Structure 1
Amino acid sequence: MANANAHISQGTSGPSVTCSALTFRWPDGTGVFDGLSLTVGRGRTGLVGANGSGKSTLLRLLAGGLRPAGGTVKVGGTLAHLPQNLTLDTALRVDEALGIAGRRRALRAIEAGDVREEHFESVGDDWDVEERALVTLGSLGLGDVGLDRTVGELSGGETVLLRLAALLLERPDVLLLDEPTNNLDLFARRRLYEAVDSWRSGVLIVVSHDRELLERVDRIAELRSGSVSWYGGGWSAYQEALAAQQEAAARMLRAADADVRRQKRELEETQIKLARRQRNSRKMDAERRAPKIVAGERKRSAQESAGKLRGLHEDRLEDARERREQAADAVRDDAEIRVDLPRTAVPAGRTVLRVQGLRPRYGRLREATFEVRGPERVALVGRNGAGKTTLLRTLAGQTEPLSGTAEVPVPLRFLPQRLDVLDAESSIAANVARTAPGVSDNHIRAQLARFLFRGARAEQLAGTLSGGERLRAALAAMLLASPAPQLLMLDEPTNNLDVGGVRQLTTALASYEGALLIAAHDLHFLESVGITRWLLVGEELRETDAGEVRELLESGGADSAEGAGPAGAESRAAGAREEAAVEPGA
C-alpha cells in the first residue's frame, strides 16, 4: 500500500500537523484520499464529515497507524492518539495503564533507601508523577479509582477516560481524539468537555458527532469528497455558515435549472424556425424553377447557417447543463431512509416481553420485573457500568441469568454495540440474505436501496464500511429479517454516527411499528424516537422520566457509588468487562 514517495516525519518546529498530497487506498482498491493537503495549527479543531468520508482513517494516518500510498505527513512535536475502538488488557493495574508503574516503583525504592542510579534515571524529573496522575484522574471524574485497581474493574466509559488520562500525562504536543464520547454517560461527558475546555498546550483534533463537544472547539474542519473546508468557531457557527452556503447553493441551482429550461426552449424554437425556413426555401425554389446548381448552393448555404445556429444553441444548452451539475454538487444530499415495515406491527396491549425476578449474572442490578406491551418504546438509561448492556444480552438469550425468567413471545432481534451481527467478509446483500432466507435477491436489493445502499453499493464488503454505514447495514439486516422482528433491542446505536447518520437512524425507526428497547446515553436521540417509558438501571430497575434522567446523569447522582452494594466488587468488575468497549490481551 505504501510507496517510496510516502512517508511520515516528526517535525522540530512548533506543534502542528501537515499533510501534503496525501493519497490512501484500502487493500481492495477502494480510494479514500487522492492528493489531500491540509495544515492544522495550535488550538482545538473539530473534524466533521459524513460517515465514510475518512475522518478516522485520516487520524490513523496522522498517528502512523496506517501508511499512505503517496504524499507526506509531518507532525510538529510529540503525538498521542485516542482511537475509536479502544483495546486495553483488563488485567493491567491503573498505574500500568497510565504508563507510570515503573516510576512509582522507582520512587518507592528510593523512599526505602535504595539509591541505585537506575531508580533515579527511571524517575527523571517526574518526582510528582503520582500527584499529577491523581489530579488528572480526578479532573476526569476518576478520583476514586486509585492507582492499584485493575482495568477490568472499570466500566467501558471509565476505561475511555483512563486512556485519555494516560495521554494527558504524556503532555503531547498533538492530541488526536476519535469519537471520545462514545460509551460515556452524561456525567463522564461533562468531565471530557472540561478537559477539552482546558486544552491550551498545542494541537487538539477531535472527531466527533457530539454537538456539545464540538461547540467547544476553535474551528471546524469539514472533510467532504476528499478535501477539507474550514469554518471558524464551534458547531453552531459551522451550522450557520453551512445554512447560508446551502441557501446560496439552492438559489444557484434554481437559476441553473431555469437557464437549462430557457436554453432548451430556445433550441426547440430555433429548430422549428429552421425547419419552417427550409420548407419555405424549397417551396420558393420549386415555384421559381431555379436551376439545380443554384438551388443546391442555396440549400448548402442554408444548411451551414442552420448548423451554426443550431450548434450555438446546443453549446449554450450544454454549458447550462454543466453549470447546473456544478450547482447541484454544491447542494447537499440529505437522503433519508424510507422503508415500509408493516410486518413488524404489534397490536396495542399484546405482551412482547415479560421479565420476572430476573437477576443478571453481571452488574449491580439485583432483580428486574417488568413487561413491554404493544408498540411501546422503552429506554434503558443509567451510569456507565450500571448493567444496561448485560441486561439486554440476558434478555436476548446471550447470557444466562443467575435467577428469574425472561419470556419473548414474538420475533426478537438484538443489535449490539459492536455490530458483530455482520459477516465482515460478506457483502451487504449477502448479510441481509442470511437473515432473510427465502427472500428473493431482487427484493433484498430493492429494500437495500431504501437503506441508501443502491446498485453496486449492495455488493460492498461489510468489513470495508465506516461505523455509520455498518450501523445502517446491520439495521437493514435486522429490520428486513424473516420473520420480521416485533421486538427490536438496540445497544448504544448512535455510537460512531454523524449528525446525518443519527437523523437517518431516527427516520428508519419511525417506520418501525414494533416494540423498541434501547440502551443509550444520547438523550436527544431517545427523545427524537418517541420514547414512551424510561427505565433507570441501578441496583434496582425503576421507572422515571426524561427530566429526572438528565438531572441525575449530569450530576453523577444516578447510582454514582458504583461498586457499592450487595452485588460486590467481583460482580461489578465482571459486569464492567461485559459493557466495556475494550478487549483483553492488547
Structure 2
Amino acid sequence: MIVLQQLSYAHPDKHALFTNINFTVNTSERLALVGNNGSGKSTLLHIIAGNLQASGGHITIASQPYLVPQTFGQYNHLTVAAALGISEKLHALQQILDGHTDAVYFDQLQDDWTIAERAEAALAAWGLSVSDLQQPMEALSGGQKTKVFLAGIAIHKPALILMDEPTNHLDAQSREHLYRFIETCKATLLIVSHDRKLLNLMPAICELTTGNIQYYGGNYEHYLQQKQLEQDALQQDIHSHEKALRKAREKERESVERQQKRDARGKAKQEKAGVAKIMMNTLRNNAENSTAKTKDAHAEKVQSIGKELQQLRDHLPAIDKMKFDFTDASLHKGKILCSATAVNVAYSGKFLWPEALSFQISSGERIALKGGNGSGKTTLIQLILGLKQPDTGALSRAAFNHVYIDQEYALLENGLTVYEQAQAFNTGALQEHEIKTRLNRFLFTRGDWDKTCGMLSGGERMRLLLCCLNIGRQAPEMIVLDEPTNNLDISNVEILSQAIQEYRGTLVLVSHDEAFAKSIGTDREIILESGSS
C-alpha cells in the first residue's frame, strides 16, 4: 500500500528533518506513528498525502490517500464543502437537478449521484448538519473542524487513511465514536497520535527518528515495555562506561605518578653517580618524553570512553535529564479561592448552561472541568479567574495569582529569544549564569538561547514555560491547564505530567486526555452541559 525508499526531507533552510527513511505499510494494516516533537511525523504524512515534496528518495502508493489533518486555521478561508473537496460535485448535481444538461456538469459529477446523501449521513454521524456544508470553516470550533474531516472518510470511502492527531479538540463522546471506527475499520490506517487510549487500539507502533522508523509489534503498552527494556539496557551500558571511565582516570593518575617516581629515582641515581650535565639533560628529556607518552596514551583512552559515555547519555529520555524545583504555593491548603452560587452567562439573550452553576474551589484542590465541545469550559475558566462576571447569581473570589497555560503556551512572547523569555520571569534577581544553568537543565543549550520563542515546537514551548516557572521566585497559587497536551508528543506529555505532580498549588484542568488527567491526580470534577445557545 505504501513503500518509502531512502526518503529524506529538509526544510527550506537546508536543515534535515529526516534522512534515508525506509518504511512499508501493507494493505489493511493499521499502524500508529510516534516520535518526539519535531521528528517529522506530520511532515511525513503530508508527503504521503501528496501535499509536500520529499527532498530525496522514492515513494510508492497503491491508492489515493485521504488525510485527516491537524487544523490550525489553514482551512478557514474555505467552506466546509470545499475543505472536503466536494463543492464542485454538489454544485454540478444541483445544476443537473435544476434541469441544466451541460456536459460539463456531468463531467464534474462523475456519476456520483449519491454524493449529497452520503455527505448528509456522514456529517450527521459526527453531530454536524448538512446545512454546515456552505458555511466557512472559520465559523467552526476546533472539534467541529476535526469532525468535518472525519466525516470525509465516509464520503470518499478511501482505501488508505492518514490521521494527524485526530483526537485533538474532540470531546469524550466524539473520541469514543472515533475509537469504535478505528477498531472496526477495514481500510489501511496510518495514525499520528499521542492519545494513549487510541494507541492501545493499534496492533503495531512505529517510532520515527532522524534516520529510521523502528517497528514494534503490539499496542502502545507493549511498545512501552519494549522501550523500557531498551532503556534498562542503556542504563546498564551507561553504568558500565561510567565505571570504566573512573578506572581509566584512576589508572591514568597512578601511571603518571609511577612514571614521575621512576624519573625522580633515576635522576637521583644519576646525580649520585656523577653523570655529565649534557648526559643528564638528555636523560631528563627522555624521561619527560616517556612521561608525556604515558600521559597521552591514558588521556586518549579516557577521552574515548568519555565520548562513548556522552553518546549513550544523549539517548536518555528527556525526562531523565531534567530536575524540577517548584516552590510550594503560598496559600494554605483548604482556603476558599472561589465560590459561586447559581451563576450563569448569557450569549445573544440565551443562557449558556441549562442549569445555573454552584461550586466552590479551595486551595490545593485538583479539579477537572468536563463537558462536550461548546459546553462553556472556557467561559467558566474566565469566571474563576475574574476575567468575566456572571449575568446571574453571585460569585466571590479571594485574591490569588495564577498562570493560565493553553495548548499553544501563549504565555510565551514569540518575539523574545529563549534567554530573554527566561529573564522576563527572573523575579529573584538570578545571575546570568544561573539562568543559563536552568535553561540547560530543561534541555535548552547554548545553541538555543538566541532562538525566538516563535520558532519553538509545542514540546519546546512547554519545557521553556516550565523552566520560566522554576526561575520565578514562587510558584503560582493556581495553574489552569486548558488542553495542554494537544500539541505534545508522548515524552513531553510525561515531562509535563511529572512537573504538575510536583506542583502543590491549586490546579484546574480542561483536557480530553483521560490518561493525563489520571496521571496528575485530579480529585474531583465539574461537569458542564450545553444550553440552548
State yes or no: 1:471 paired with 2:458: no
Deviating more after overlay: 298-307 vs 377-386? 298-307
State yes or no: 1:222 paired with 2:211: no
C-alpha distance in structure 2 between counterparts of 1:301 and 1:450, whole Å: 47
Q: Displacement, 1:134? A: 4.8
Aligned counterpart, 1:414? 404
State yes or no: 1:381 paired with 2:370: yes
Aligned counterpart, 1:554? none
State yes or no: 1:20 paired with 2:7: yes
For these two proteins, the number of residue pairs brought into alignment is: 520
Deviating more after overlay: 176-185 vs 78-87? 78-87
Q: Displacement, 1:492? A: 1.3
C-alpha distance in structure 2 between counterparts of 1:170 and 1:219, whole Å: 26
C-alpha distance in structure 2 between counterparts of 1:504 and 1:46, whole Å: 21
Map 1:360-375 → 2, pairs under 5 A: 360-362=345-347, 363-375=352-364
Amino acid at match of 2:22: L
Map 1:284-299 → 2, pairs under 5 A: 284-291=269-276
Of 146, 151, 157, which residue of structure 1 is paired with 2:129?
Answer: 146
Aligned counterpart, 2:25? 41
C-alpha distance in structure 2 between counterparts of 1:208 and 1:446, whole Å: 33
State yes or no: 1:244 paired with 2:229: yes
C-alpha distance in structure 2 between counterparts of 1:473 and 1:193, whole Å: 33
Aligned counterpart, 1:282? 267
| Partner SS for 1:262 | helix
Cα distance change, pair 302–67 in 1 and its aligned pair in 2 (3 A)? same
Contact 1:61 1:67 in 2 (8 A): yes
Cα distance change, pair 96–56 in 1 and its aligned pair in 2 (3 A)? closer
| Partner SS for 2:485 | coil
Amino acid at match of 1:501: N
Amino acid at match of 1:186: A
* Higher RCO structure, 1 or 2 (CA under 8 Å, sep 6+): 1
Q: Displacement, 1:474? A: 4.2
Aligned counterpart, 1:551? none
- Which ranges in structure 2 are unaligned for 5 or more consecutive residues? none
Cα distance change, pair 35–392 in 1 and its aligned pair in 2 (3 A)? same
Cα distance change, pair 396–57 in 1 and its aligned pair in 2 (3 A)? farther
- Which ranges in structure 1 are unaligned for 5 or more consecutive residues? 1-13, 540-566, 572-586
Q: Percent identity?
A: 28
Aligned counterpart, 2:104? 118
Contact 1:94 1:147 in 2 (8 A): no
Amino acid at match of 1:208: S
Of 524, 535, 538, which residue of structure 1 is paired with 2:526?
Answer: 535
| Partner SS for 2:492 | helix
C-alpha distance in structure 2 between counterparts of 1:121 and 1:325, whole Å: 63
State yes or no: 1:159 paired with 2:145: yes
Amino acid at match of 2:271: A
Amino acid at match of 2:402: L
Amino acid at match of 1:22: Y
Aligned counterpart, 2:56? 71
Of 455, 478, 490, which residue of structure 1 is paired with 2:481?
Answer: 490
Of 268, 276, 300, which residue of structure 2 is paired with 1:315?
Answer: 300
Cα distance change, pair 403–437 in 1 and its aligned pair in 2 (3 A)? farther
Cα distance change, pair 379–146 in 1 and its aligned pair in 2 (3 A)? same
| Partner SS for 1:148 | helix
What is the RMSD of the two structures over their aligned residues, measured on CA atoms?
A: 3.6
Cα distance change, pair 238–418 in 1 and its aligned pair in 2 (3 A)? same
C-alpha distance in structure 2 between counterparts of 1:407 and 1:418, whole Å: 30
Q: Displacement, 1:463? A: 0.9
| Partner SS for 2:302 | helix
Contact 1:180 1:208 in 2 (8 A): yes
State yes or no: 1:178 paired with 2:178: no
Deviating more after overlay: 35-44 vs 524-533? 35-44
Amino acid at match of 1:423: E
Q: Displacement, 1:372? A: 0.9
Contact 2:35 2:208 in 1 (8 A): yes
Deviations 1:234-288 (A, max 9, x none): 3223222212222222222222222222222222222222222222222332333
Q: Displacement, 1:148? A: 2.1
Q: Displacement, 1:327? A: 3.1
Cα distance change, pair 83–98 in 1 and its aligned pair in 2 (3 A)? closer
C-alpha distance in structure 2 between counterparts of 1:262 and 1:481, whole Å: 41
Q: Displacement, 1:461? A: 1.3
Q: Displacement, 1:338? A: 0.6
